[in-house]
Structure 1
């Protein structure tokens, strides 16, 4: 199901990202870095059904692994602790 998204993706543009980061409580310095970064996103799926999403940039590389429809603990790129669920 998710196989259509497997591959390498490059951010082309983002609009209102600074306002979004402000709304979720990201600090000024981190927002400034976040606004400059154009990460590559690498999506893959392993044999057990785990999806990996790796965001790579000169600023930071972050990876999360999850199964669709299953809640998991995530530490965001700005070090916030969240409960996350991906539904497709």
Structure 2
């Protein structure tokens, strides 16, 4: 049920994102930009059931096309080359990224009409909150 995530979402808050970027190995310069950026997130599903997650900011735009439970190669916004898989777990859209023996997960869920994205690397958890655009 990716459909409940469909729409354009505007970031309204970000907590501990610098700690998360450090934990996944992002360098200082890119973290500085990442901390200043408030991206929009667009989730779409086409008529063939292909899912897409697009992140747009003044700094960078990236788009991921995926099918649930089908691993694929992803180049992340911070240029990591990962093996990524999306799944639905207890109503959450979960994105798992693996690279160089490491793994991180991003859990997205809808709570009180907000999209909450928890970025998890070990014991580091960043929380980014989005509201739906009209």
After TM superposition, the score normalised by the length of structure 1 is 0.97
Let me know the Cα RMSD of the aligned residues.
0.7
After TM superposition, the score normalised by the length of structure 2 is 0.64
Q: Deviations 1:52-77 (Å, cap 9, x if unpaired)?
A: 11100000000000001111100000
Query: More helix by proportion, 1 or 2?
Result: 1
The number of residue pairs the alignment matches comes to 88
**Gaps (5+ residues) in structure 2?**
89-134
Query: More strand by proportion, 1 or 2?
Result: 2
Which residue matches 1:56? 56
**Gaps (5+ residues) in structure 1?**
none
CA–CA separation in structure 1 for the residues paired with 2:57 and 2:85: 24
Q: Does 2:83 align with 1:83?
A: yes
Which residue matches 1:34? 34
* CA apart distance, 1:20: 0.5
Which residue matches 1:21? 21
Q: Which runs of 4+ in 1 moved over 4 A?
A: none
| SS of corresponding position for 1:29 | helix
Which residue matches 2:116? none
CA–CA separation in structure 2 for the residues paired with 1:86 and 1:2: 10
Q: Which structure has the higher relative contact order (CA within 8 Å, separation 6+)?
A: 2
Q: Deviations 1:12-51 (Å, cap 9, x if unpaired)?
A: 1111100000010000000000000000011100122211
